[in-house]
Structure 1
Amino acid sequence: MTKAEKFTGTSDTYAGKVEYEYCLSCDGALSKRREYSTTQSGNIIQERRYEYDGLNLLRVDELYDNDSNLTTWQRLNLLGGSRWATARLHRG
């Protein structure tokens, strides 16, 4: 795995961070995405895991947190059942 991180903000003000992990054995496909709090750099507020079969996205699991405990994963459904359905995700 490799990581690419992006910081946003103006005038050196911390405005949160999004971190991506890519799977080198999966043709470089995105495997995880983590979004961090805008107030504290260490708190993850959202995380998604992606599962592929070749280049076809099979499923997306999301860990969405409102109370900082990060304990429950929910599956995001891919609508339509086609390989192009990734743009139309909804929480199941």
Structure 2
Amino acid sequence: MSTTQEIQQALQQTGAGVSQALAAANAAKAKAEQAIAQSVALGGRDVIAEFTALKNAINELIASLNGSREKVIQVAARARPAGGGGG
């Protein structure tokens, strides 16, 4: 396997890891939304505020992971032409 192929493989693994993290973060967001809905039904204002803050933090994490995914795509695109000179 050439050096370029090894780099591309590592970047693919990085992309897969980011995708897994995004899936987990989205699942956590869904759970937080469920907790908010349950708290609304029970009238627990303090709990609603806590879960809303958590959901907002998860949204920030998701935005960051989306940025990371875009960066992985950009770097992978740069790796392809770099392989043209041999490995």
The alignment's TM-score, normalised by the length of structure 1, stands at 0.16
Larger radius of gyration: 2
More helix by share: 2
The alignment's TM-score, normalised by the length of structure 2, stands at 0.16
